[in-house]
Structure 1
Amino acid sequence: MVTRRAFLKNGGLALFGVGLLGGIPPFIAEAAAREKVFRLYKKNKILVCIFQRGAMDGLMAVTPYADPYLQTARPTLFMTPAKTGNTSPLIDLDGRFGLHPALQAFEPVFRDKRLAIVHGIGSPNNTRSHFDAQDYMESGTPFDKATPSGWLNRAVGLLGHDALTPFAAVSLTSAMPRSLYGDNPAVAIANLQDFTIQMRGNPAAVNLTAKSFEDLYDQTSPGLLKEAGQESFEAMKMLQKTDTKNYKPAGGAQYPNSPLGNALKQIAQLIKMDVGMEIAFTECGGWDTHYGQGTTNGVFARSATDLSQAVMAFWTDLGTYQDEVTVMTMTEFGRTVHQNGTGGTDHGRGSCNFILGNDTAGGIVHGSIKPLTVENLEDGRDLPVTTDFRSVFSEVADRHLRIAGEKVLFPGWSGAVAGVMNV
């Protein structure tokens, strides 16, 4: 007898063999948000993670503008909420912190207490290597490079049930991210529309996909077929037949035409299809601001605008699904307190992240930041990490997805949660 988990794992392998986009099994197609879409699954709680690769400058994203030492350290990068000349000011959040004007799309949900910010967040490992820091954050074991699985893949295994769908964890990326490595079902999709065009233009590939899945389906017991195999196969057929060109975002949402905007639009479509997705992942770059960082214009502002507009278009598009979804950003580390000689900032330590959802403790900048005097800085140069990323990731996953098992999610960690969730 084949177990349900083995069925899904083997089914993923069978489908992997007929993938058409660089070996990735991109067999999920867009769903048009119409009234008569066939619903295979009930609404699930869904965690959407966005990795800001390159190390976002948290001190520019959410600036402790009342700190006089920061102004001295950043003579051409420092910003305030005061209106001066033609420069857009910071958005004053609480009398101490100001939101960068390029992130202004976040202001309404912060005021509405649905967006929480954690400052001084980062890894206890003090590496300033992008590769190592990202690896540690995605594995969830900041002092062990040998961990074979990622923390999001382990979260799939803690959902309290064997997934009845191959779409439990989906990454809208060109390759599987480190955080989804592991034994539990996960798929990576580069681009839904390109895949659909190729599938429709290649009947042999469609037939092979169907045959490989049905062959595995036929090897299972009747009870298992009814519970898992049939639903998964029906989901496959439905996703392959959907129209990829005519999706209309709800609520007048306008996604930026960027990799992040396109990825979040596709995640929204999959959520609305109710195909059983519970974890989604995507990423964005452009945060490695060594030079030309700018203030209201420049590298940082362009990346921040894209992030906030893409996330808020996604949030608007979700409509009634907002109650089911929490969005969490992450970045491997922050930037130096002092600007460098080329108008940028170098690799640092603490940064900040954003958590959007109806069950977050929003409208608050969480975390602890001391005055940015030299004696309070790590190595005399960096914002110290005062909130371990595991305390935030664990709480969001546990409270939103209703899983319990932080010791499995983050082996070797036993710290307190950060208090960013209401329930």
Structure 2
Amino acid sequence: MNRRELLKTIAAMSLAPMSTQLFAAPASQHRFLVVFLRGAYDASNLLVPTSSSFYYEARPNIAIARPGTDSNAALALNADWGLHPALKDTIYPLFQAGEAAFIPFAGTHDLSRSHFETQDSIEMGQDLSGSRNFQSGFLNRLAGQLNTGSAMSFTDQLPLIMRGDAKVANAGLQKAAKNNVDERQSKIIAQMYGNTKLDKQVEDGFAVRGEIVQNSKAEEAAKSMMAGSMQANNDGNRDAITSKGFELEAKRIGKMMRDKYALGFIDVGGWDTHVNQGGATGLLANKLEELGRGLAAYKAEMGSMWKNTTVIVISEFGRTFRENGKRGTDHGHGSVYWVLGGGVKGGRIVGEQIALTPTSLFQNRDYPVLNEYRSVLGGLFARAYDLNAKQVGQVFSGVPAMDLGLL
């Protein structure tokens, strides 16, 4: 290798300063994966308020029909809610088996409706009225409480949510799997950094890459699925993969979470649907179908560890309850969180809820936030990892944990 190739290789490894310390998670430890949908997905067409006549008045072109015999109708969950039909073969069976639940009216009290500002706010998990530390994400603080070092961000760069004092690994699985550095070249690079401050960091970086490449060898035929799966850095996507590449990524994540990591993070972009969002079919439906397939693939890869696994799907905010003039939806407020897992007491819609009428909307346009995300997540973390109130307080200061009875 010449010098230019060497520098490109080192840069491609994405060895973040805080992203080393790789330890195997204890076999008995709970696995928790956070899936962040960047761009703010339309929760009202995911979890359909089928008992609300106002929903059908507000969305004359994009509403999902009430449950019935039509294949494009919502899938009945209870008397008030239905599920988007694109998830019929993936998430709906999990709900029926009691392994999936939904939390409507969830989110942050941040009112900026800015993708980047709200994403940052959620990832930090700090009090909105106090000073803010952009080097302290709530999953990093949780990793510190777990004290195992077995946390991993499956992203090219270490996201804000994973920044902090705890050592957290990060690697974008798509780029790492395509890296063409062979064993001889890896040794050359490692020798260059021997007996330096970066010695351990480079060693651990190659360990992560080697594990990824090994896991991906059997998936060479599926690499074509990745074409175009990286999202441009606009509309709040922050270079997250799109839903099109999520299924293959989820398989790789499942293998690594099953065997090594107790805590994981992945983001999926492309959810900003201002124009031609579609209803039972179309843009959003396709994305939900791809996301569902990815989550089902993750479950399959977890195998017997699925019973000791929780997945939560969140987004920075929801979207307007009424459709706009371009048959899409605009930036909103409250959202719907998904909670999946083999140990989840699901088959339910949980948390505080209200009937959806013109007078119950927040600022006459959005879902209100009735289930604050730090309280919701704090309750899940406490149950998953048997954390006491003081430990939860180290993750989310000043916010009482909300126990929804899901774990």
Into which bin does the TM-score normalised by the smaller protein fall?
Answer: 0.7 to 0.9
Cα shift at 1:18:
9.7
**Residues of 2 paired with 1:52 and 1:108: CA distance?**
22
8 Å CA contact 1:213, 1:233 repeated in 2: no
Pair 176,291 (structure 1): closer, same or farther in 2 beyond 3 Å: same
**2:256 paired residue among 254, 260, 270:** 270
Q: Does 1:206 align with 2:210?
A: no
**1:174 paired residue among 156, 161, 164:** 156
8 Å CA contact 1:337, 1:381 repeated in 2: yes
**Residues of 2 paired with 1:42 and 1:389: CA distance?**
28
Residue 81 (structure 1) aligns with: 66
Pair 320,287 (structure 1): closer, same or farther in 2 beyond 3 Å: same
How do 1:22-421 and structure 2 match up within 5 A? 22=12, 24-25=14-15, 42-43=26-27, 44-83=29-68, 88-104=72-88, 105-143=90-128, 144=130, 146-147=132-133, 148-159=135-146, 161-163=147-149, 168-191=150-173, 194-195=176-177, 197-200=179-182, 203-209=184-190, 212=193, 239=211, 242=214, 244-246=216-218, 258-272=244-258, 274-275=259-260, 277-404=261-388, 405-413=391-399, 415-421=400-406
Secondary structure class of the residue paired with 1:158: helix
Residues 348-392 of structure 1: CA deviation (Å, up to 9, x unaligned): 111101111122220101123323223211111111111001122
Residues 267-295 of structure 1: CA deviation (Å, up to 9, x unaligned): 112134x23x1111111122111111111
Which residue type is aligned with residue 63 of structure 1?
A: V
**Max radius of gyration: which structure?**
1
Secondary structure class of the residue paired with 2:343: coil
Pair 370,258 (structure 1): closer, same or farther in 2 beyond 3 Å: same
**Residues of 1 paired with 2:310 and 2:34: CA distance?**
9
Residues 282-323 of structure 1: CA deviation (Å, up to 9, x unaligned): 111221111111112222111111111100111022211212
Pair 257,409 (structure 1): closer, same or farther in 2 beyond 3 Å: closer
Secondary structure class of the residue paired with 1:362: coil
**Residues of 1 paired with 2:318 and 2:57: CA distance?**
19
**Residues of 2 paired with 1:120 and 1:56: CA distance?**
14
Pair 243,199 (structure 1): closer, same or farther in 2 beyond 3 Å: farther
Cα shift at 1:409:
0.7
Shifted more, 97-106 versus 71-80: the winner is 71-80
Pair 179,369 (structure 1): closer, same or farther in 2 beyond 3 Å: same
8 Å CA contact 1:49, 1:329 repeated in 2: yes
**Residues of 2 paired with 1:241 and 1:343: CA distance?**
43
8 Å CA contact 2:46, 2:83 repeated in 1: yes
Shifted more, 234-243 versus 69-78: the winner is 234-243
**Residues of 1 paired with 2:72 and 2:387: CA distance?**
43
Using structure 1 for the length normalisation, give the TM-score.
0.78
Which residue type is aligned with residue 266 of structure 1?
A: R
Aligned residues with identical type, % of pairs: 27
Which residue type is aligned with residue 198 of structure 1?
A: N
Secondary structure class of the residue paired with 1:403: coil
Secondary structure class of the residue paired with 2:120: helix
Structure 1: stretches of 5+ with no match in the other structure: 1-16, 27-38, 220-228, 249-255
Residue 19 (structure 2) aligns with: none
Pair 206,302 (structure 1): closer, same or farther in 2 beyond 3 Å: farther
Aligned residues: 368
Pair 313,389 (structure 1): closer, same or farther in 2 beyond 3 Å: same
**Residues of 2 paired with 1:325 and 1:103: CA distance?**
20
Cα shift at 1:257:
8.5
**Residues of 2 paired with 1:241 and 1:383: CA distance?**
43
8 Å CA contact 1:395, 1:421 repeated in 2: no
**Residues of 2 paired with 1:261 and 1:390: CA distance?**
28
Structure 2: stretches of 5+ with no match in the other structure: 1-6, 17-22, 221-241
**Residues of 2 paired with 1:392 and 1:79: CA distance?**
28
**Residues of 2 paired with 1:379 and 1:25: CA distance?**
44
Cα shift at 1:195:
4.8
Pair 80,210 (structure 1): closer, same or farther in 2 beyond 3 Å: farther
Cα shift at 1:49:
0.7
Cα shift at 1:25:
2.4
Using structure 2 for the length normalisation, give the TM-score.
0.81
Pair 21,399 (structure 1): closer, same or farther in 2 beyond 3 Å: farther
